Structure 1
Amino acid sequence: MLLAVASLLAIGALLGWRRPAPHPPAEPDRVPADGPDEPAEPDLELDPALACDLIAATLRGGASIPAALAALGQACGHRGRELVIGARMLPLGSSWDEAFARVEEHWRVVLAPMRESWERGVAPESMLRAAAADIRARRSAAAREAAERLGVSLVVPLGLCLLPAFVLLGIVPAVIATGGLLLAG
Protein backbone atom coordinates (compact mmCIF):
# COMPACT_ATOMS: atom_id res chain seq x y z
CA MET A 1 0.00 0.00 0.00
CA LEU A 2 2.79 2.41 0.91
CA LEU A 3 4.56 1.51 -2.32
CA ALA A 4 1.41 2.34 -4.34
CA VAL A 5 1.02 5.77 -2.69
CA ALA A 6 4.70 6.54 -3.18
CA SER A 7 4.56 5.53 -6.84
CA LEU A 8 1.45 7.73 -7.41
CA LEU A 9 3.22 10.68 -5.81
CA ALA A 10 6.30 10.06 -7.95
CA ILE A 11 4.23 9.85 -11.14
CA GLY A 12 2.37 13.01 -10.16
CA ALA A 13 5.66 14.81 -9.57
CA LEU A 14 7.04 13.61 -12.92
CA LEU A 15 3.95 14.75 -14.78
CA GLY A 16 4.06 18.16 -13.13
CA TRP A 17 0.88 17.80 -11.10
CA ARG A 18 0.17 20.92 -9.13
CA ARG A 19 -2.65 22.42 -7.23
CA PRO A 20 -4.90 24.34 -9.64
CA ALA A 21 -4.20 28.05 -9.77
CA PRO A 22 -6.87 30.25 -8.21
CA HIS A 23 -9.21 32.00 -10.62
CA PRO A 24 -8.33 35.60 -11.40
CA PRO A 25 -10.66 38.16 -9.89
CA ALA A 26 -13.76 38.87 -11.91
CA GLU A 27 -13.54 41.89 -14.17
CA PRO A 28 -16.18 44.57 -13.84
CA ASP A 29 -19.12 44.26 -16.17
CA ARG A 30 -18.19 45.49 -19.62
CA VAL A 31 -20.63 46.61 -22.24
CA PRO A 32 -20.17 44.85 -25.61
CA ALA A 33 -19.17 47.05 -28.53
CA ASP A 34 -22.55 46.47 -30.19
CA GLY A 35 -24.44 47.81 -27.18
CA PRO A 36 -25.71 46.40 -23.89
CA ASP A 37 -28.69 44.51 -25.34
CA GLU A 38 -27.08 43.12 -28.50
CA PRO A 39 -24.79 40.11 -28.36
CA ALA A 40 -21.53 40.41 -30.26
CA GLU A 41 -22.01 39.14 -33.82
CA PRO A 42 -19.70 36.51 -35.25
CA ASP A 43 -17.59 37.48 -38.22
CA LEU A 44 -17.68 34.35 -40.38
CA GLU A 45 -16.42 34.00 -43.90
CA LEU A 46 -18.30 31.12 -45.46
CA ASP A 47 -16.91 28.98 -48.21
CA PRO A 48 -18.98 29.89 -51.30
CA ALA A 49 -19.67 26.23 -52.11
CA LEU A 50 -20.94 25.65 -48.59
CA ALA A 51 -23.03 28.82 -48.82
CA CYS A 52 -24.67 27.47 -52.01
CA ASP A 53 -25.40 24.19 -50.21
CA LEU A 54 -26.87 26.01 -47.20
CA ILE A 55 -29.13 28.18 -49.32
CA ALA A 56 -30.31 25.15 -51.30
CA ALA A 57 -31.15 23.35 -48.04
CA THR A 58 -32.99 26.41 -46.74
CA LEU A 59 -35.00 26.66 -49.94
CA ARG A 60 -35.81 22.94 -49.80
CA GLY A 61 -37.11 23.58 -46.30
CA GLY A 62 -39.66 26.03 -47.69
CA ALA A 63 -38.01 29.41 -47.20
CA SER A 64 -38.31 32.12 -49.82
CA ILE A 65 -35.27 33.42 -51.65
CA PRO A 66 -35.08 36.65 -49.61
CA ALA A 67 -35.53 34.71 -46.35
CA ALA A 68 -32.79 32.22 -47.30
CA LEU A 69 -30.35 35.00 -48.23
CA ALA A 70 -31.18 36.97 -45.08
CA ALA A 71 -30.65 33.89 -42.89
CA LEU A 72 -27.28 33.25 -44.52
CA GLY A 73 -26.25 36.87 -44.09
CA GLN A 74 -27.30 36.90 -40.43
CA ALA A 75 -25.33 33.73 -39.77
CA CYS A 76 -22.19 35.42 -41.11
CA GLY A 77 -22.44 38.44 -38.83
CA HIS A 78 -20.72 41.62 -40.03
CA ARG A 79 -19.61 40.07 -43.31
CA GLY A 80 -23.21 39.28 -44.21
CA ARG A 81 -24.77 42.60 -43.24
CA GLU A 82 -25.06 43.88 -46.84
CA LEU A 83 -26.52 40.52 -47.90
CA VAL A 84 -29.24 40.88 -45.24
CA ILE A 85 -30.00 44.43 -46.33
CA GLY A 86 -30.27 43.37 -49.97
CA ALA A 87 -32.50 40.41 -49.09
CA ARG A 88 -34.84 42.73 -47.18
CA MET A 89 -34.97 45.17 -50.11
CA LEU A 90 -36.17 42.54 -52.63
CA PRO A 91 -39.74 42.09 -51.26
CA LEU A 92 -40.07 45.88 -51.08
CA GLY A 93 -39.77 46.15 -54.87
CA SER A 94 -36.08 46.84 -55.41
CA SER A 95 -34.40 45.39 -58.45
CA TRP A 96 -31.75 42.72 -57.96
CA ASP A 97 -28.99 45.15 -58.94
CA GLU A 98 -30.21 47.82 -56.51
CA ALA A 99 -30.57 45.36 -53.66
CA PHE A 100 -27.15 43.77 -53.97
CA ALA A 101 -25.05 46.64 -55.35
CA ARG A 102 -22.97 46.96 -52.16
CA VAL A 103 -22.46 43.25 -51.49
CA GLU A 104 -18.86 42.02 -51.27
CA GLU A 105 -17.37 40.14 -54.22
CA HIS A 106 -17.27 36.72 -52.52
CA TRP A 107 -21.09 36.73 -52.32
CA ARG A 108 -21.43 37.19 -56.10
CA VAL A 109 -20.87 33.48 -56.73
CA VAL A 110 -23.80 32.66 -54.46
CA LEU A 111 -26.03 35.42 -55.81
CA ALA A 112 -25.60 34.56 -59.52
CA PRO A 113 -27.80 31.43 -59.50
CA MET A 114 -30.28 33.13 -57.17
CA ARG A 115 -30.73 36.08 -59.53
CA GLU A 116 -31.89 33.83 -62.37
CA SER A 117 -34.39 32.22 -60.04
CA TRP A 118 -35.68 35.52 -58.67
CA GLU A 119 -36.08 37.25 -62.03
CA ARG A 120 -37.29 34.35 -64.19
CA GLY A 121 -38.85 31.94 -61.71
CA VAL A 122 -36.40 29.13 -62.44
CA ALA A 123 -35.89 26.52 -59.70
CA PRO A 124 -32.65 27.54 -57.96
CA GLU A 125 -31.57 24.23 -56.45
CA SER A 126 -30.01 22.74 -59.58
CA MET A 127 -28.19 26.00 -60.32
CA LEU A 128 -26.93 26.20 -56.74
CA ARG A 129 -25.69 22.60 -56.92
CA ALA A 130 -23.97 23.33 -60.23
CA ALA A 131 -22.35 26.49 -58.81
CA ALA A 132 -21.11 24.59 -55.75
CA ALA A 133 -19.75 21.77 -57.93
CA ASP A 134 -17.99 24.31 -60.17
CA ILE A 135 -16.39 26.03 -57.17
CA ARG A 136 -15.18 22.72 -55.77
CA ALA A 137 -13.86 21.58 -59.17
CA ARG A 138 -11.90 24.81 -59.65
CA ARG A 139 -10.51 24.53 -56.12
CA SER A 140 -9.49 20.90 -56.71
CA ALA A 141 -7.82 21.79 -60.03
CA ALA A 142 -5.92 24.63 -58.36
CA ALA A 143 -4.77 22.30 -55.57
CA ARG A 144 -3.60 19.70 -58.11
CA GLU A 145 -1.73 22.34 -60.07
CA ALA A 146 -0.04 23.61 -56.90
CA ALA A 147 0.96 20.05 -55.98
CA GLU A 148 2.44 19.53 -59.44
CA ARG A 149 4.41 22.79 -59.19
CA LEU A 150 5.70 21.72 -55.79
CA GLY A 151 6.89 18.39 -57.20
CA VAL A 152 8.76 20.14 -59.99
CA SER A 153 10.30 22.71 -57.67
CA LEU A 154 11.52 19.97 -55.30
CA VAL A 155 13.34 18.05 -58.07
CA VAL A 156 15.99 20.75 -58.60
CA PRO A 157 17.26 20.96 -54.98
CA LEU A 158 17.17 17.18 -54.61
CA GLY A 159 19.12 16.78 -57.84
CA LEU A 160 21.67 19.39 -56.82
CA CYS A 161 22.22 17.69 -53.45
CA LEU A 162 21.87 14.00 -54.24
CA LEU A 163 23.60 13.77 -57.60
CA PRO A 164 26.99 15.09 -56.38
CA ALA A 165 26.72 12.94 -53.26
CA PHE A 166 25.96 9.86 -55.38
CA VAL A 167 28.93 10.59 -57.63
CA LEU A 168 31.33 11.24 -54.73
CA LEU A 169 30.21 8.34 -52.55
CA GLY A 170 29.20 5.77 -55.14
CA ILE A 171 30.99 6.23 -58.43
CA VAL A 172 34.34 7.76 -57.42
CA PRO A 173 35.26 4.95 -54.96
CA ALA A 174 34.27 2.34 -57.56
CA VAL A 175 36.42 4.04 -60.23
CA ILE A 176 39.35 4.34 -57.84
CA ALA A 177 39.07 0.68 -56.82
CA THR A 178 38.72 -0.47 -60.43
CA GLY A 179 41.56 1.80 -61.56
CA GLY A 180 43.78 0.47 -58.78
CA LEU A 181 43.08 -3.10 -59.86
CA LEU A 182 43.74 -2.27 -63.53
CA LEU A 183 47.01 -0.49 -62.77
CA ALA A 184 48.22 -3.24 -60.42
CA GLY A 185 47.34 -6.07 -62.69
Structure 2
Amino acid sequence: MPGVGEAVPVSTALTLVAAAIAAGLDVLGALSAVGEAMGGPSGRELGAVARDVAAGVPWEGAWSAAGARWAPLEGALRPCWVAGAAPGASLEATSRALAGTARREGEKAMAELGVALALPLTLCLLPAFTLVGILPMVIAVAMGAGVSLG
Protein backbone atom coordinates (compact mmCIF):
# COMPACT_ATOMS: atom_id res chain seq x y z
CA MET A 1 0.00 0.00 0.00
CA PRO A 2 1.19 3.54 -0.60
CA GLY A 3 2.47 5.55 2.31
CA VAL A 4 0.37 7.80 4.49
CA GLY A 5 -1.14 10.65 2.50
CA GLU A 6 -0.54 9.03 -0.90
CA ALA A 7 -3.37 8.26 -3.28
CA VAL A 8 -4.20 4.58 -3.61
CA PRO A 9 -4.44 3.38 -7.23
CA VAL A 10 -8.01 2.81 -8.40
CA SER A 11 -7.09 -0.73 -9.45
CA THR A 12 -6.08 -1.56 -5.87
CA ALA A 13 -9.30 -0.13 -4.47
CA LEU A 14 -11.28 -2.03 -7.09
CA THR A 15 -9.65 -5.31 -6.07
CA LEU A 16 -10.28 -4.62 -2.39
CA VAL A 17 -13.94 -3.74 -2.99
CA ALA A 18 -14.39 -6.93 -5.04
CA ALA A 19 -12.86 -8.97 -2.20
CA ALA A 20 -15.06 -7.28 0.40
CA ILE A 21 -18.20 -7.95 -1.65
CA ALA A 22 -17.12 -11.56 -2.24
CA ALA A 23 -16.70 -11.86 1.53
CA GLY A 24 -20.34 -10.94 2.00
CA LEU A 25 -20.50 -7.16 2.44
CA ASP A 26 -23.02 -5.08 0.53
CA VAL A 27 -21.80 -2.29 -1.76
CA LEU A 28 -21.93 0.49 0.85
CA GLY A 29 -20.39 -1.75 3.50
CA ALA A 30 -17.59 -2.71 1.11
CA LEU A 31 -16.90 0.93 0.20
CA SER A 32 -16.89 1.93 3.86
CA ALA A 33 -14.64 -0.97 4.94
CA VAL A 34 -12.19 -0.46 2.08
CA GLY A 35 -12.10 3.28 2.72
CA GLU A 36 -11.33 2.68 6.38
CA ALA A 37 -8.66 0.10 5.55
CA MET A 38 -6.95 2.33 2.98
CA GLY A 39 -6.93 5.47 5.09
CA GLY A 40 -5.52 8.71 3.75
CA PRO A 41 -7.29 10.85 1.17
CA SER A 42 -8.35 7.86 -0.94
CA GLY A 43 -9.97 6.15 2.01
CA ARG A 44 -11.74 9.32 3.06
CA GLU A 45 -13.15 9.73 -0.45
CA LEU A 46 -14.57 6.19 -0.56
CA GLY A 47 -15.87 6.47 2.99
CA ALA A 48 -17.59 9.74 2.09
CA VAL A 49 -19.28 8.09 -0.90
CA ALA A 50 -20.65 5.32 1.33
CA ARG A 51 -21.83 7.80 3.97
CA ASP A 52 -23.43 10.13 1.41
CA VAL A 53 -25.34 7.36 -0.37
CA ALA A 54 -26.47 5.93 2.99
CA ALA A 55 -27.68 9.43 3.97
CA GLY A 56 -29.83 9.68 0.84
CA VAL A 57 -27.56 11.53 -1.60
CA PRO A 58 -28.17 10.22 -5.14
CA TRP A 59 -25.59 7.74 -6.43
CA GLU A 60 -24.20 10.11 -9.09
CA GLY A 61 -23.96 13.02 -6.65
CA ALA A 62 -22.05 11.03 -4.07
CA TRP A 63 -19.52 9.83 -6.64
CA SER A 64 -19.10 13.22 -8.32
CA ALA A 65 -18.03 14.65 -4.97
CA ALA A 66 -15.35 11.95 -4.71
CA GLY A 67 -13.63 12.94 -7.92
CA ALA A 68 -13.25 11.78 -11.49
CA ARG A 69 -10.44 9.32 -10.77
CA TRP A 70 -12.99 6.96 -9.17
CA ALA A 71 -15.05 6.72 -12.40
CA PRO A 72 -13.94 3.11 -13.17
CA LEU A 73 -15.00 1.91 -9.71
CA GLU A 74 -18.26 3.85 -9.87
CA GLY A 75 -18.99 2.43 -13.33
CA ALA A 76 -18.32 -1.11 -12.15
CA LEU A 77 -20.62 -0.73 -9.13
CA ARG A 78 -23.41 1.22 -10.87
CA PRO A 79 -25.26 -1.83 -12.31
CA CYS A 80 -25.17 -3.43 -8.87
CA TRP A 81 -26.58 -0.36 -7.15
CA VAL A 82 -29.08 0.72 -9.79
CA ALA A 83 -30.38 -2.63 -11.08
CA GLY A 84 -29.36 -5.07 -8.36
CA ALA A 85 -26.97 -6.97 -10.64
CA ALA A 86 -24.19 -9.06 -9.15
CA PRO A 87 -21.02 -6.91 -9.12
CA GLY A 88 -18.44 -9.69 -9.52
CA ALA A 89 -18.28 -9.82 -13.32
CA SER A 90 -18.37 -6.04 -13.67
CA LEU A 91 -15.59 -5.54 -11.12
CA GLU A 92 -13.46 -8.24 -12.76
CA ALA A 93 -13.93 -6.77 -16.25
CA THR A 94 -13.06 -3.29 -15.01
CA SER A 95 -9.99 -4.65 -13.24
CA ARG A 96 -8.81 -6.38 -16.42
CA ALA A 97 -9.42 -3.20 -18.44
CA LEU A 98 -7.38 -1.11 -15.99
CA ALA A 99 -4.56 -3.69 -16.05
CA GLY A 100 -4.55 -3.66 -19.87
CA THR A 101 -4.43 0.13 -19.92
CA ALA A 102 -1.55 0.17 -17.44
CA ARG A 103 0.34 -2.45 -19.49
CA ARG A 104 -0.12 -0.46 -22.71
CA GLU A 105 1.03 2.75 -21.02
CA GLY A 106 4.10 0.93 -19.67
CA GLU A 107 4.97 -0.48 -23.10
CA LYS A 108 4.58 2.96 -24.65
CA ALA A 109 6.84 4.50 -22.00
CA MET A 110 9.48 1.81 -22.61
CA ALA A 111 9.39 2.45 -26.36
CA GLU A 112 9.72 6.21 -25.82
CA LEU A 113 12.64 5.64 -23.46
CA GLY A 114 14.40 3.49 -26.07
CA VAL A 115 14.06 6.23 -28.66
CA ALA A 116 15.18 8.92 -26.22
CA LEU A 117 18.29 6.93 -25.24
CA ALA A 118 19.43 6.07 -28.77
CA LEU A 119 21.27 9.33 -29.54
CA PRO A 120 23.01 9.76 -26.16
CA LEU A 121 24.17 6.14 -26.21
CA THR A 122 25.46 6.56 -29.74
CA LEU A 123 27.35 9.69 -28.79
CA CYS A 124 28.94 7.88 -25.83
CA LEU A 125 29.76 4.61 -27.59
CA LEU A 126 31.06 5.96 -30.90
CA PRO A 127 34.18 7.65 -29.44
CA ALA A 128 34.89 4.59 -27.28
CA PHE A 129 34.55 2.29 -30.30
CA THR A 130 36.89 4.54 -32.27
CA LEU A 131 39.53 4.63 -29.51
CA VAL A 132 39.38 0.95 -28.59
CA GLY A 133 38.56 -0.67 -31.94
CA ILE A 134 39.61 1.42 -34.90
CA LEU A 135 42.62 3.43 -33.66
CA PRO A 136 44.70 0.38 -32.55
CA MET A 137 44.01 -1.29 -35.89
CA VAL A 138 45.10 1.83 -37.80
CA ILE A 139 48.29 2.02 -35.68
CA ALA A 140 49.04 -1.68 -36.22
CA VAL A 141 48.55 -1.38 -39.99
CA ALA A 142 50.68 1.76 -40.11
CA MET A 143 53.51 0.14 -38.14
CA GLY A 144 53.28 -3.03 -40.23
CA ALA A 145 53.61 -1.04 -43.43
CA GLY A 146 56.67 0.71 -42.07
CA VAL A 147 55.07 4.12 -41.91
CA SER A 148 56.62 6.40 -39.33
CA LEU A 149 54.08 7.96 -37.00
CA GLY A 150 56.33 10.56 -35.52
Alignment TM-score, normalising by the size of structure 2? 0.78
Instruction: Note the C-alpha offset of 1:155.
Output: 2.7
Corresponding residue number in structure 1 for 2:141: 178
Deviations 1:58-89 (A, max 9, x none): 11122111111111222233413343232133
1:60 to 16, 19, 22: 22
Corresponding residue number in structure 2 for 1:96: 59
The structure richer in helix per residue is: 2
Per the alignment, do residues 174 and 70 of structure 1 end up closer, same or farther by CA in structure 2, a change over 3 Å counting? Answer: same
- Aligned pairs (5 A) from 1:15-54: 43=5, 45-54=7-16
Corresponding residue number in structure 2 for 1:154: 117
Alpha carbons 1:43, 1:76 under 8 Å: kept: no
Instruction: Note the C-alpha offset of 1:180.
Output: 4.5
Per the alignment, do residues 160 and 128 of structure 1 end up closer, same or farther by CA in structure 2, a change over 3 Å counting? Answer: same
Instruction: Note the C-alpha offset of 1:113.
Output: 0.6
Between 115-124 and 79-88, the greater mean CA deviation after superposition: 79-88
Does 1:81 pair with 2:44?
yes
Does 1:134 pair with 2:97?
yes
Alpha carbons 1:113, 1:131 under 8 Å: kept: yes
Q: Distance in 1 between matches of 2:109 and 2:125?
A: 24
Does 1:114 pair with 2:77?
yes
Alpha carbons 2:20, 2:34 under 8 Å: kept: no
Alpha carbons 1:109, 1:131 under 8 Å: kept: yes
Aligned residue identity for 1:69? L
Is there any run of 5+ residues in structure 2 with no aligned partner, and where?
none
Per the alignment, do residues 86 and 169 of structure 1 end up closer, same or farther by CA in structure 2, a change over 3 Å counting? Answer: closer
Superposed structure 1 runs of 4+ greater than 6 Å apart: none
Bigger-Rg structure (1/2)? 1
- How many pairs does the alignment contain? 143
3-state SS, counterpart of residue 164 of structure 1 = helix
Q: Distance in 2 between matches of 1:43 and 1:183?
A: 74
Aligned residue identity for 1:71? A
Per the alignment, do residues 173 and 61 of structure 1 end up closer, same or farther by CA in structure 2, a change over 3 Å counting? Answer: closer
Instruction: Note the C-alpha offset of 1:175.
Output: 2.7
Percent identity of the aligned residues? 34
Aligned residue identity for 1:163? L
